């Protein structure tokens, strides 16, 4: 692609993203600067723009969101895990089991191949699931499509729920941006150090989890004053939205048209099961439905974190559940994939399509 054409497409994408974000913000949707760019990017990706967010840019955006969460989360998150640890674990396990049940059903109904259904229906860690699925014989294209359809559906549904349950009758005027330069530099240092340490420890979602954990620790102990200017956060929101949206391509839609009904059923089923569990959670704990819904939403962590911080949800509880679930999903993914695929044909109704062509074998 010629540089000037690429520049023109990016200019058009930024303009469309800004227009959509402005409209969503005017309608008082949380995370409008995530939703607008994501919806615009989906249209550009499917339209054949051929754009993509460089991986370093996406990692930097995740690190900024990690710092944002660290600034919002204090020692309350530790108290939340300590007081309601068993229930948080139950919430995580129910969400993981819901994804496994949906994957099992898709396999037994021959809607999707066994290993592909297992990895594609895992509730969280989309990028990690795609990378790991290739090593276990699944079709990474279909897994990626399933995972990012789920991410988009979760973002849209969670934003809609937050919009309905958040009082927007009298929105507060934004405070003037007076972030201390030293605090901004300290925050950027925490982001770099957290990502580096998490990468050395081979933690999942290192760019997000590392800065979040390190920043939360230092911030809670009063060792570092953290601050992020709004333009930097806006850019981070938009980058994550573009990264997710631009992964939808016309070729992907064409190749997965046979499996699309099954993918949509799987996505809606997982979200519905988690929503039912969220309602039950409000009967067991003194939390509101929005907090329970965001906590049980099946990924992704960065998107849900943005919505939680921008709404009236209990950020500590939401992030405690979401972070723990990410680790559980990554640890149990291979085992669940083997269990779901056991005794089932590896090819279902997709034999007539092109999905298995060139797919890696176990």
**Quick one: what percent of the chain has pLDDT higher than 70?**
80
More confidently predicted of 51 and 355? 51
Return the number of other C-beta atoms located less than 10 Å from residue 264's C-beta: 13
User: Can you tell me the distance from the alpha carbon of 339 to that of 329, in angstroms, rounded to the nearest whole number?
Assistant: 14
The pLDDT of 319-325, averaged and rounded, is 81
The pLDDT of 347-358, averaged and rounded, is 40
Rg (the chain; Cα; Å) = 20
| Least confident stretch, 1-15, 43-57, 306-320, 338-352 | 338-352
User: Can you tell me the distance from the alpha carbon of 319 to that of 322, in angstroms, rounded to the nearest whole number?
Assistant: 5
Return the number of other C-beta atoms located less than 10 Å from residue 280's C-beta: 14
Strongest mean pLDDT among 13-22, 166-175, 314-323, 345-354: 13-22
**Residue 142 contacts residue 355 (beta carbons within 8 Å):** yes
In this predicted structure, what is the pLDDT of residue 9?
A: 94
Query: HSE of 129 in the Cβ direction (CA atoms, 13 Å)?
Result: 34
User: Can you tell me the distance from the alpha carbon of 54 to that of 60, in angstroms, rounded to the nearest whole number?
Assistant: 10
pLDDT digits (tens, 9 = 90+) for 69-112: 787 665 666 676 677 778 788 888 888 888 888 888 877 777 77
pLDDT digits (tens, 9 = 90+) for 255-275: 677 777 877 877 888 888 888
The pLDDT of 170-175, averaged and rounded, is 44
Strongest mean pLDDT among 33-37, 133-137, 194-198, 199-203: 194-198
Q: Using the predicted structure, report yes or no on whether residue 326 has a pLDDT greater than 80.
A: no
The confidence band for 169, taking pLDDT boundaries of 50, 70 and 90, is: very low
User: Can you tell me the distance from the alpha carbon of 186 to that of 207, in angstroms, rounded to the nearest whole number?
Assistant: 17
| Least confident stretch, 5-9, 14-18, 84-88, 356-360 | 356-360
Return the number of other C-beta atoms located less than 10 Å from residue 327's C-beta: 16
- DSSP for 151-184, written as a single string: HHHHHHHHHHHHHHHS--SSPPPPPP----HHHH
Q: Using the predicted structure, report yes or no on whether residue 347 has a pLDDT greater than 50.
A: no
**Average pLDDT, rounded, for the chain:** 78
In this predicted structure, what is the pLDDT of residue 360?
A: 36
Closest CA to 262 of 129, 113, 155, 131: 113
**Nearby residues of 11 by Cβ (< 8 Å), 6 or more positions away:** none
Global model pTM greater than 0.85 = no
In this predicted structure, what is the pLDDT of residue 128?
A: 62
pLDDT digits (tens, 9 = 90+) for 183-220: 899 999 999 999 999 999 988 678 888 898 898 888 87
Sort 169 into a burial class: Cβ within 10 Å, 0-12 / 13-18 / 19+: exposed
**296, two tokens:** 């049980």
Strongest mean pLDDT among 57-61, 64-68, 209-213: 57-61
In this predicted structure, what is the pLDDT of residue 75?
A: 65
In this predicted structure, what is the pLDDT of residue 348?
A: 40
User: Can you tell me the distance from the alpha carbon of 216 to that of 226, in angstroms, rounded to the nearest whole number?
Assistant: 10
**Residue 20 contacts residue 40 (beta carbons within 8 Å):** yes
**Residue 126 contacts residue 150 (beta carbons within 8 Å):** yes
**Residue 66 contacts residue 341 (beta carbons within 8 Å):** no
In this predicted structure, what is the pLDDT of residue 353?
A: 40
More confidently predicted of 175 and 302? 302
Q: Using the predicted structure, report yes or no on whether residue 357 has a pLDDT greater than 50.
A: no
Instruction: Tell me how many degrees the CA angle 22-158-314 measures, rounded to the nearest 5.
Output: 105
**CA dihedral angle for residue 348, residue 350, residue 354, residue 356, rounded to 10 degrees:** -20
Secondary structure element (H or E) that encloses residue 173, with its range = none
**Nearby residues of 264 by Cβ (< 8 Å), 6 or more positions away:** 149
Give me the residue label for tokens 């965001």: 294
The confidence band for 352, taking pLDDT boundaries of 50, 70 and 90, is: very low
In this predicted structure, what is the pLDDT of residue 209?
A: 83
My answer on whether omega of the bond before 347 falls inside 30° of 0, hence cis, is no
The confidence band for 40, taking pLDDT boundaries of 50, 70 and 90, is: very high
**Residue 302 contacts residue 240 (beta carbons within 8 Å):** yes
My answer on whether omega of the bond before 300 falls inside 30° of 0, hence cis, is yes
Return the number of other C-beta atoms located less than 10 Å from residue 194's C-beta: 28
Instruction: Tell me how many degrees the CA angle 338-340-345 measures, rounded to the nearest 5.
Output: 95
User: Can you tell me the distance from the alpha carbon of 159 to that of 27, in angstroms, rounded to the nearest whole number?
Assistant: 11
């Amino acid at each position: 692609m010629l540089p000037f054409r690429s520049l023109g497409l990016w200019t058009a994408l930024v303009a469309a993203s800004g227009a959509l974000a402005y409209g969503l913000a005017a309608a008082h949707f949380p995370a409008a600067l995530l939703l607008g760019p994501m919806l615009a990017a989906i249209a550009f990706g499917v339209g054949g723009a051929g754009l993509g967010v460089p991986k370093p840019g996406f990692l930097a955006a995740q690190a900024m969101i990690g710092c944002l969460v660290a600034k919002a989360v204090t020692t309350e998150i530790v108290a939340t895990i300590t007081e309601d640890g068993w229930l948080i674990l139950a919430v995580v396990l129910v969400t993981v089991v819901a994804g496994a049940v949906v994957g099992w059903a898709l396999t037994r109904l021959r809607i999707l191949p066994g290993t592909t259904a297992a990895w594609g229906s895992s509730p969280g860690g989309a990028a990690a699931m795609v990378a790991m699925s290739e090593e276990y014989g699944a079709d990474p294209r279909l897994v990626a499509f399933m995972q990012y359809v789920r991410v988009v559906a979760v973002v849209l549904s969670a934003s809609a729920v937050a919009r309905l349950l958040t009082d927007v009758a009298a929105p507060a005027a934004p405070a003037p941006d007076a972030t201390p330069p030293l605090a901004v530099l300290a925050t950027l240092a925490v982001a770099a150090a957290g990502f580096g340490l998490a990468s050395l420890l081979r933690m999942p979602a290192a760019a997000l989890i590392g800065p979040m954990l390190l920043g939360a620790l230092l911030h809670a102990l009063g060792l570092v004053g953290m601050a992020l200017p709004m333009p930097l956060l806006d850019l981070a929101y938009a980058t994550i939205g573009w990264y997710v949206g631009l992964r939808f391509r016309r070729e992907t839609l064409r190749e997965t048209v046979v499996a699309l009904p099954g993918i949509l059923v799987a996505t809606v089923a997982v979200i519905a099961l988690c929503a039912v569990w969220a309602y039950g959670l409000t009967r067991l704990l003194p939390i509101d439905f929005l907090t329970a819904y965001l906590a049980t939403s099946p990924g992704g962590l960065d998107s849900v974190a943005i919505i939680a911080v921008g709404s009236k949800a209990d950020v500590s509880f939401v992030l405690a559940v979401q972070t723990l679930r990410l680790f559980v999903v990554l640890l149990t993914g291979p085992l669940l994939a083997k269990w779901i695929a056991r005794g089932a044909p590896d090819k279902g109704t997709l034999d007539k399509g092109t999905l298995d062509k060139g797919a890696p074998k176990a």
